[in-house]
Amino acid sequence: MDREQLLSAVEGSAALKRAFFASEADSVLEAGRRLAQALSDGHKLLVFGNGGSAADAQHFAAELVNRFVNDRPALPAIALTTDTSVLTSIANDADYESIFSRQIEALGAEGDVAVAISTSGNSPNVLKAAAVAREKGLTTIGLAGHDGGKLGASVDLCLTVDHPETARIQEVHGMLIHFFCQIIEDELFS
């Protein structure tokens, strides 16, 4: 990569973000408000995904449990991607497809929010978890890429970054997480 390619990539990333948020601003605000309302009502967030999306899930939970911008009380958010003993026991004793859904069975309650993150929108374990969450009465919010895949039709509200490159999709997902945190802090603590 040379300087020109770098600057071109930055401009492409910025253009994608501008287009996405111009198109989806109302849905972003709606998702953020649903998250804030659930937390205000005493519920928790369960966040999950694979690979880079697992890192996004952990990032989101960390910003809520600790703090985003403001000093404030801790908020209940759990990344279902972090407990290696739970993950490996489920994968070994049942199957990999159940690593998140089994945790939702154990930890999820009506009124909680399940945040499913999948850049393809087609990760079987994410789809299974979203289905179990809906069956249990959780609100389901998806962050997807490409055309949304099966996740788009499997959740209550899906924010889909329609782009062919996983890295660019993940960049927008990172911004969404930060905006959700800001909306939550504004709604609950301003």
Residues spanned by the domain of 136: 3-189
Listing DSSP states for 90-141 in one string gives: HHHHT-GGGTTHHHHHHH--TT-EEEEEESSS--HHHHHHHHHHHHTT-EEE
Distance CA 100, CA 81 (A): 8
pLDDT tens-digit series, residues 78-117: 999 999 999 999 999 999 999 999 999 999 999 999 999 9
Check: CB of residue 47 under 8 Å from CB of residue 184: no
Q: Give the total number of structural domains in the chain.
A: 1
CATH of residue 86's domain is: 3.40.50.10490
Distance CA 85, CA 99 (A): 11
pLDDT tens-digit series, residues 26-70: 999 999 999 999 999 999 999 999 999 999 999 999 999 999 999
Q: What is the mean pLDDT of residues 155-167?
A: 97
What is the separation, in whole angstroms, between the first and last Cα of the chain? 44
Check: CB of residue 170 under 8 Å from CB of residue 56: yes
